[in-house]
Structure 1
Amino acid sequence: MNDDAIQVGRIRRFAEGFEGCLERWIGHKQETVWRMLTDPPQLVQWLAPGSIELRKGGRVHIDFGDSGVVIDSTVLAFDPPRLLAYSWSGGDVAHRPLRWVLDTVDGGTALTLTVQLPAGEDIAKACAGFEAHLDMLVAALEGVPIRFPFDRYLAAKRAYGELLPE
């Protein structure tokens, strides 16, 4: 895969860190995409085993197994089937808010994912990882789940690295 195939989002730098914004149009109904983001049997097909208590303040637990990464946080915003936000972190580490917004557009769903990281962390790596997981999400929606696309991740990491503001 070449870097031209990457649908690069945007990266902004703030005093306290970075924000990456990824956008996708997905040819499935908003409610179907929402279930992929929130239903444990569907979540595991494109992200990792986990569960999300579907209410503001609800528990978010996602376990990436062999990598040792465990997300254990709370739902920060909840407005089904349009908005879900939680921190992409666990325990006493810095908050890394994720915000998923779904809108019905042109017979499908416009998905906007916003991820924030503290200063000193690798926003290009985070955005690249989510690009790969969004590919996995779309594949799962099409009924052909795929493994983590490492080549896609590497190409996206290069492309996002070029976006980093000086």
Structure 2
Amino acid sequence: MNDDAVVSGRIQHLDGAWEGRLERWMGHDRETVWRMLTEPQQFVQWLAPGSIELRKGGRVHIDFGDSGVVIGSTVLAFDPQRLLAYSWSSGDEPERPLCWELTTAGEGTTLTLTVRLPAQEDIAKACAGFEAHLDMLAAALEGVSTRFPFERYLAARHAYQELLPK
């Protein structure tokens, strides 16, 4: 598989942090994609169990039980059906902001996910994980249940590592 086909994003180093930006076109309207990002009974299908209080300052709780990772943060930005941002961290951990942006694109929606991590963390691993979860989101939008695509994750991680400055 060509690495260009494996990843949908790019990585850059900004202000002592890494930023990954992934973009996907989804063949569904913005309202449908928004529900998949924000409603617990929807995002459990492709991300993990949890809840998000849909307001700036609202509580975010996402529990990746299998890995032991629990996200406990607050909503940083909120614009219904357009923008949702929160940190992908808990407690005293460093901020790892995620920003989900939706725009109408023809008969569907462009979803742009921006991930920021401290410079000492593995941005290739983070972006690869989100590539896999975005595949799961696309499947869930089509009514197909999937498990985490580990082989896809490994291929994407290698591709993102190749994008990092040497």
Structure 1 residue runs without a partner (length 5+): none
- Which one-letter code corresponds to 1:35 in the other structure? R
**Kept in 1: contact 2:18–2:116 (CA 8 A):** yes
1:120 matched residue in structure 2: 120
Q: Which aligned pairs between 1:32-51 and structure 2 lie closer than 5 A? A: 32-51=32-51
In structure 1, the residue corresponding to 2:44 is in which secondary structure? Answer: helix
- Which one-letter code corresponds to 2:155 in the other structure? A
2:71 matched residue in structure 1: 71
TM-score, scaled to structure 2: 0.97
Q: Deviations over 1:104-128 (max 9, x none)?
A: 0011000000000001100000000
1:55 matched residue in structure 2: 55
Q: Which aligned pairs between 1:21-40 and structure 2 lie closer than 5 A? A: 21-40=21-40
Cα distance in 2 for residues equivalent to 1:126 and 1:64: 14
Offset at residue 4 of structure 1 (A) = 4.7
Matched, 1:3 2:23: no
Cα distance in 2 for residues equivalent to 1:29 and 1:35: 10
**Kept in 1: contact 2:7–2:160 (CA 8 A):** no
Offset at residue 24 of structure 1 (A) = 0.3
- Which one-letter code corresponds to 2:136 in the other structure? M
Q: Deviations over 1:65-109 (max 9, x none)?
A: 021100000000000100000000010000000000000001100
Structure 2 residue runs without a partner (length 5+): none
Q: Which aligned pairs between 1:126-141 and structure 2 lie closer than 5 A? A: 126-141=126-141
- Which one-letter code corresponds to 1:162 in the other structure? E
1:110 matched residue in structure 2: 110
- The number of residue pairs the alignment matches comes to 166
Offset at residue 2 of structure 1 (A) = 5.8
Offset at residue 165 of structure 1 (A) = 1.8
Q: CA RMSD in A?
A: 1.1
TM-score, scaled to structure 1: 0.97
Cα distance in 1 for residues equivalent to 2:148 and 2:135: 9
In structure 2, the residue corresponding to 1:127 is in which secondary structure? Answer: helix
- Which one-letter code corresponds to 2:10 in the other structure? R
**Kept in 2: contact 1:8–1:160 (CA 8 A):** no
Spell out structure 1 runs of 4+ moving beyond 4 A.
none
